[in-house]
Amino acid sequence: FRLVRVHVFIPKEQGLTADSLVQAIRAGHCFIGFDLFGDTSGFSFIAENATGTKIQGDEIGLEGTKLKIEVPVESRIVLFKDGNVHFDETGVSTRVYDVAERGVYRVEAYLPRLGRPVGEQPWIISNPIYVR
């Protein structure tokens, strides 16, 4: 009903098949979007360093790692590290974070401009990226 969606990342070269869908979900290459609040297409949470780019569900080494967060519209972005709030910023659509510590990082995005109680509920919930 276009209320809540699981957005799954499947490499273009694989194409959408039952196997590629199950593999992507098992790998954590997906996020939850509460699209009844607004279209969550375009959300991105990646980690980059000299070894390459990783997406939600992946592991990456610590050295030189940056986390990049993009949301379709200005929102409140909350980055969690090991289950605790690491930063919380409102009114942004893009954020780059230099990682200084190993941990499990994930993102939630909110739409505070929708007012209470809707703006206090998560709009986007990412899967984690593991920085080892």
pLDDT tens-digit series, residues 70-106: 999 999 999 999 999 999 999 999 999 999 999 999 9
Task: Answer for the pair 106, 69: CB distance below 8 angstroms, yes or no.
Answer: no
Question: What pLDDT band is residue 30 in, cutting at 50, 70 and 90?
Answer: very high
Q: How many CA atoms lie within 13 A of 81 on its CB side?
A: 13
- Give me the pLDDT at residue 1, please: 63
- Give me the pLDDT at residue 115, please: 86
pLDDT tens column, 46-67: 999 999 999 999 999 999 999 9
The mean of the pLDDT values for the chain is 94
- Give me the pLDDT at residue 93, please: 95
Residues in the chain: 132
